[in-house]
Amino acid sequence: MDTLSPKERSERMSLIRGAGSVPEMKLRRLVHRMGFRYRLHVKELPGKPDLVFPARNAVIFMHGCFWHRHEGCRLARLPKSKLEFWKPKLEANKERDLRNQYQLESLGWRVLVIWECEMADVEHVSVIIREFLQKQKGGK
């Protein structure tokens, strides 16, 4: 059972941002400090990746664990109410993400997904990003 009234739940949900979330801003600042420059949310690309590195043919998505169904993550648990609404919605998000990643890869883009929970260890994330962005197209 939801502990909030429908009006309170609606108000709370309206505060969730699609772009510029706290984890995304943390990621953007990290990548910028690392010396990499990027474009934001290129709408011509499938899924409007959060960070786009055109010269490197690389994109990074910052996925929220709940919204994008991070398997095995405690932040990805299902809500306790309105499962008939939430389960199909969240599964559709996950399917759309996979479709977008496949389309990007078929267009020659390299794709990296950083999960919200991973941002707790910024040092580890910076190693992953550096390795990903320094790798040339074709694995060189």
The two three-digit tokens of residue 115, written as one number: 């999960």
Helix, coil or strand: residue 61: strand
pTM: 0.84
Centre a 10 Å sphere on the Cβ of residue 60 and count the other Cβ atoms it contains.
24
**Cα–Cα distance measured from residue 68 to residue 92, given in angstroms and rounded to the nearest whole number:** 9
CB-CB contact of 41 with 50 (8 Å): yes
Domain residue ranges in the chain: 20-134
Q: One digit per residue, pLDDT tens: the chain, 140 residues?
A: 556 576 765 565 555 655 668 889 999 999 999 999 999 999 999 999 999 999 999 999 999 999 899 999 998 888 888 889 889 999 999 999 999 999 999 999 999 999 999 999 999 999 999 999 998 655 55
Q: What is the CATH number of domain 20-134?
A: 3.40.960.10
